[in-house]
């Protein structure tokens, strides 16, 4: 997995996903800020992220330069999970999720896999609420599955 941390713009994009249906629940906002804190962002970056959770914002541009494939899939998976928290994924959320996937340059098939992994983690005994959702496990599962797929490709004689 990448040694680089996810940047401020990633969390602002997650806030935009949360706002896509016209409201960002307090639990969703807390999950975004908690993830940014766990990522080790600076106080000024956390403050900007908190501001993005208080009023609607656009996904905008995401700096992918320091993001690994696992990082990009993790961000997409978190966003996919967030769109299901209220039990309904409407067209605005689907459009915002598509825009995020495009900004992260994730093809359709890996998007489906990331969404499936997000669902798996949500179905664990810990629950699907933001305060209990196991974000580190989500990230590790994505990284492990990417490595397993890479090993299978190598064993089949495919190049990196």
The per-residue pLDDT string of the chain (160 residues; one tens digit each, 9 = 90 and over) reads 445 578 888 888 888 888 888 888 888 888 889 888 988 999 999 999 999 999 888 777 677 777 889 989 998 998 898 888 777 778 888 998 999 999 899 999 999 999 999 988 888 776 555 556 777 888 899 999 999 999 998 998 876 6
Q: Backbone phi, then psi, for 42, in 5-degree steps?
A: -70, 160
Which residue blocks in 20-134 are alpha helix, DSSP H?
26-39, 43-54, 69-84, 91-103, 108-122
Residue 147 covered by a domain? yes
Distance in angstroms (rounded) separating the CA atoms of residues 77 and 112: 9
Distance in angstroms (rounded) separating the CA atoms of residues 85 and 26: 12
Residue 21 covered by a domain? yes
Distance in angstroms (rounded) separating the CA atoms of residues 111 and 15: 19
Distance in angstroms (rounded) separating the CA atoms of residues 96 and 13: 9
Say what the pLDDT of residue 151 is. 92
Task: Indicate the number of domains in the chain.
Answer: 1
Q: CB-based contacts of 110: which residues, under 8 Å, 6+ apart?
A: 73
**Domain coverage including residue 75:** 8-155
Residue 2 covered by a domain? no
Residue 55 covered by a domain? yes
Residue 3 covered by a domain? no
Residue 1 covered by a domain? no
Residue 138 covered by a domain? yes
Residue 64 covered by a domain? yes
């Amino acid at each position: 997995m990448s040694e680089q941390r996810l940047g401020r713009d990633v969390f602002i994009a997650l806030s935009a996903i949360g706002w896509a249906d016209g409201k960002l629940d307090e639990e969703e906002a807390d999950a975004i800020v908690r993830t940014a804190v766990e990522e080790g962002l600076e106080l000024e970056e956390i403050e900007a992220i908190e501001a993005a959770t208080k009023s609607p914002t656009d996904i905008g541009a995401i700096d992918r330069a320091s993001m690994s494939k696992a990082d990009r899939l993790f961000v997409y998976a978190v966003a996919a999970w967030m769109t299901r928290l209220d039990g309904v994924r409407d067209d605005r959320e689907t459009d915002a999720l598509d825009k995020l996937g495009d900004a992260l340059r994730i093809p359709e098939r890996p998007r489906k896999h990331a969404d499936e992994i997000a669902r798996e983690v949500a179905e664990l005994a810990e629950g699907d609420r933001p305060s209990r959702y196991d974000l580190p496990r989500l990230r590790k599962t994505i990284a492990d599955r990417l490595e397993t797929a890479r090993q299978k490709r190598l064993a089949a004689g495919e190049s990196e």
